[in-house]
Amino acid sequence: MLSRAQLAVAASVGFLVMAAWLVFLKPDSAALLGNSQRTQPAAIEKKVSAAEAPDSLQPMQVKKQESYLPDQSALQQRDRLYKEFEGISISLSHGQQPDARKVDELLQQQIQLVKSGVLSAQDAVNYCQFLSKAMPEMDQQINRYIRQLEKL
């Protein structure tokens, strides 16, 4: 069994790892939402005199290519999940064990976010591994989630 000092050190290290994970691995919401301006290729224009142009000539409408963009609610859910995980890390750094049911709910949310493409499976696995080390009593449950994530 770990002493309180060892547990506090382990939790502090875990908190620092989690903070670094949040800072460096959190995808930019603006990039995911496609807020950056995309330019369409410039059309090649042929100069035609007014006499040569037909009366019915209408500007051609260019259809935008749709790409996968996560919706705002999924991004907000991901951000809430990060904050909940941060709270768990802080609790662990203070020697408090989080509620196992709450952790289980968060891990289920994490899988849903991976399935929706808002969170990478590798980031989710990394956090599960951190939780597994910080909460050895939940090791079996967490490993089950890791196996599910590795299949995605």
Query: pLDDT by residue for the chain (152 residues), tens digit each?
Result: 656 666 566 656 665 556 555 555 555 555 445 544 444 444 444 554 555 555 544 455 544 444 455 678 888 999 999 899 899 889 888 989 888 899 999 999 999 999 988 999 999 999 899 888 888 899 999 999 999 999 88
> Coil, helix or strand for 31?
helix
End-to-end CA distance of the chain: 35
CA 27 to CA 40: how far, in whole Å?
25
Q: What separation in angstroms does the CA of 65 have from each of 20, 34, 38, 68?
A: 35, 12, 11, 10
Which residue shows structure tokens 């299949």? 151
Domain limits of the chain? 4-30+69-151
Question: 131: closest CA among 76, 96, 85?
Answer: 85
Distance of CA 133 to the CA centre of its chain: 22
CA 23 to CA 20: how far, in whole Å?
5
Q: Report pLDDT for 37.
A: 44
Which residue shows structure tokens 């991004």? 75
Ordered alpha helix ranges (H), the chain: 4-25, 29-33, 72-93, 100-116, 121-134, 139-151
